[in-house]
Amino acid sequence: MEPAERHRRWRRRAHTADEAAAVLRKAWCRLRLSARDPSRVPPWDAVVLTAASPEQAALYDRQLARARRLGRFPASTAALAVPDPDAARIGSGAATLHAVASLVRHLIAQASKEEIAELLPEASDSSADDIPPSSVVRFMAKKHILLLHAGGDSKRVPWANPMGKAFLPLPYLAGDNPDGPVGSS
């Protein structure tokens, strides 16, 4: 490869890295602002993590509770860790469906009778499993949901298993002051 071609590729990668850093910085600032001032930046309605086992889900629930205590997301955001059923590895597609179904049941259980009657008129006095799929779709279409596939053990970063790979600190954002400016220190 010629030096000029190598230089062009390096510049392209550097440009892409700068863009990624800018996106990360903006996303981090929006996340913090949504927790501090939900009227300016709407927060997630739900944060859902998939887990490989009930034990891993319990670990993630503790990490989510810690994140809530630290103000990473507001109390109004539902936080849920959903294990694969029967601790059987079901794959990311089935885990997505299972997590969304679990979230629907969770949100409906949390909703008031008035909210359910307003959002799901056909569902009066029904359980979440009896609600027609079209009503569930209308209900969920209004939600802002962050779903992360975090199940399984990390083979590339095995030291992260005790805390869960979804909760690894990003070196770019790590700093003494979590509320300070985000930068490439």
Look at residue 184 in the predicted model and tell me its pLDDT. 44
Residue 16 in this model has a pLDDT that exceeds 70: yes
Q: Residues 6-14: what's their mean pLDDT?
A: 58
Q: Evaluate if residue 178 carries a pLDDT over 90.
A: no
In this model, does residue 111 exceed pLDDT 60?
yes
Instruction: Note the pLDDT of residue 77.
Output: 86
The confidence band for 183, taking pLDDT boundaries of 50, 70 and 90, is very low
Question: Collapsing DSSP states into helix, strand and coil, what is residue 139?
Answer: helix
Token pair recorded at residue 45: 């309605």
Measured CA to CA, the distance from residue 107 to residue 140 in angstroms comes to 9
In tens, the pLDDT along 31-51 reads: 777 778 878 888 888 889 888
The pLDDT of residue 72 is above 90: no
Q: State the pLDDT at residue 41.
A: 80
With a cut of 60, say whether residue 59 has pLDDT above it: yes
Mean pLDDT score, 42-69: 87
User: Residue 46 and residue 54: Cα distance in Å, rounded?
Assistant: 20
The model scores a pTM over 0.75: no
Question: Can you tell me which residue has the tokens 């001032």?
Answer: 37
Query: Residue 181 pLDDT more than 60?
Result: no
Look at residue 81 in the predicted model and tell me its pLDDT.
92
What angle is formed at CA 37 by the lines to CA 165 and CA 111, rounded to 5 degrees?
Answer: 75
What are the tokens at 47? 């944060």
- Of 17-21, 140-144, 179-183, the range with the highest mean pLDDT is 140-144
Would you list the domain boundaries of the chain? 1-39, 43-162
By the 8 A CB rule, do 174 and 70 touch?
no
